[in-house]
Amino acid sequence: MTIEDFQAGFGEEPGYLDYGRVGPLSRAVVEETTAFGLVLERARHGSMDAFGEQDARVRAAAAAVTRFPAEQIVFQPNATQGLMHAMFGLTGTVLLSPDEFPSLPIAAVRAQEALHVVQPAWLETDHGKVTPAGIRDQLEQNVAAVAVSLVDSRTGYLCDLEGIRQVIGDRLLIVDAIQGFGVVDAPWEAADIITTGGQKWCRAGWGTGVLALSERALDRLTPVFSGFTGTEESEPWGYVPPPADGASAYRVSNPDPIAEARFATALEEIDRVGVAEISRAIAERVSLVIELADEFAIPVSSSRDEQERAGIVVLSPPVEQVTLLTASLHNHGVTATTRLGSVRLSVHAATSPETLDMLRAAFVSYATAATY
């Protein structure tokens, strides 16, 4: 599959620059959803067996992208549930930044409050950047795990997983991968726990996600909220068996097979074209967006270094002009996220020249109004 074939599967209207919030469904995902919806509608004799095949399919697709064995991957309805499994399953101190997306610190604190076996240690960051040096300087002997975001949702910073692994030794490395999963060619082998959802950069819609666990994670985590499908028995009537010995222990109930089919379809496309190829296409478009911002003297607070960025560009105009920039984008049909005094643009592999023209027009309006 070529990058051009992949780009042809984008169907959103021009002006969409908000993949960090949600990615419009890919054409292949829409077609797969429709096909399985028709199967479920008709319920023809023998047709329902296809739903039972989707769990193995999505785990195989996730294995191809993450390079984790399929048997060490379990489907989740969202990234946050994967984080909850990780935090509630830990014993010891977990080092993380309080400025991560709320899913991560809240999961750590809820686990502490409920079980009293995990203790958050709050990492001081370099202007929101979680770096190997920062972790090294604050890594106490009692830290059992370090938790990070692959890409910071506010700063767009792409963390150095390999560098962090070198610093933390054999401690568990937990990665909230949802920002950038499927478009960042990350060294997943450095991680012990990867949790992600498919509704953003993978364009698979809500209700999709996976939790991938290394052998070390499987050995050290406890599957605290493991449901009846998390056992070795298909239907354990009359008694309560222990959790399964493996990643499947982290299942709470039967997964949504149509959601699994959606995510599998998206991941199969990503694997066919190659994450590295997608990443290169995004990098080119991110550079164009940064050049546009520079042309109109709009401060860019996210990193310009390709090694420290993914698909997010963060604009930080003067505080009194944030509303003006947001309004200019809105008036020219550009979809973006404004949060905490900055504007976040999320660029994907098929961001079109027409979208960049719309962004330029918005910047022209902003610059003109700001001048006067």
225-276 pLDDT per residue, tens: 999 999 999 889 999 999 999 999 999 999 999 999 999 999 999 999 999 9
pLDDT at 47 over 90: no
Q: What is the pLDDT of residues 10-26, one digit of tens each?
A: 999 999 999 999 999 99
Do 155 and 247 sit in the same domain of this protein? yes
Mean pLDDT along residues 69-92: 97
Domain that holds residue 225: 27-273
Do 306 and 184 sit in the same domain of this protein? no
pLDDT of residue 234: 87
Do 189 and 232 sit in the same domain of this protein? yes
What is the C-alpha separation between 94 and 221, in angstroms, rounded? 13
Do 68 and 90 sit in the same domain of this protein? yes
| Helix (H/G/I), strand (E/B), else coil: 301 | coil
Do 283 and 364 sit in the same domain of this protein? yes
**Domain count within the chain:** 2
Q: State whether the Cα torsion 168-170-176-181 is positive or negative.
A: positive
**pTM, whole model, 2 decimals?**
0.95
Mean pLDDT along residues 302-310: 95
Do 59 and 103 sit in the same domain of this protein? yes
pLDDT of residue 370: 64
Distances (CA, A) of 129 to 231, 236, 368: 40, 47, 33
CATH number for the domain that contains residue 305: 3.90.1150.10
Among 273, 296, 317, residue at a domain's last position: 273
Do 11 and 156 sit in the same domain of this protein? no
Q: Which of 155, 125, 99, 175 is nearest to 308 (CA)?
A: 155
pLDDT of residue 50: 93
Q: What is the pLDDT of residues 338-355, one digit of tens each?
A: 998 999 999 999 999 999
Contacts (Cβ under 8 Å, ≥6 apart) of 227: 251, 252, 253
Contacts (Cβ under 8 Å, ≥6 apart) of 309: 156, 157, 158, 283, 286, 302, 303
Do 245 and 298 sit in the same domain of this protein? no
What is the C-alpha separation between 24 and 291, in angstroms, rounded? 26
CATH number for the domain that contains residue 55: 3.40.640.10
pLDDT at 371 over 70: no
Mean pLDDT along residues 156-168: 97
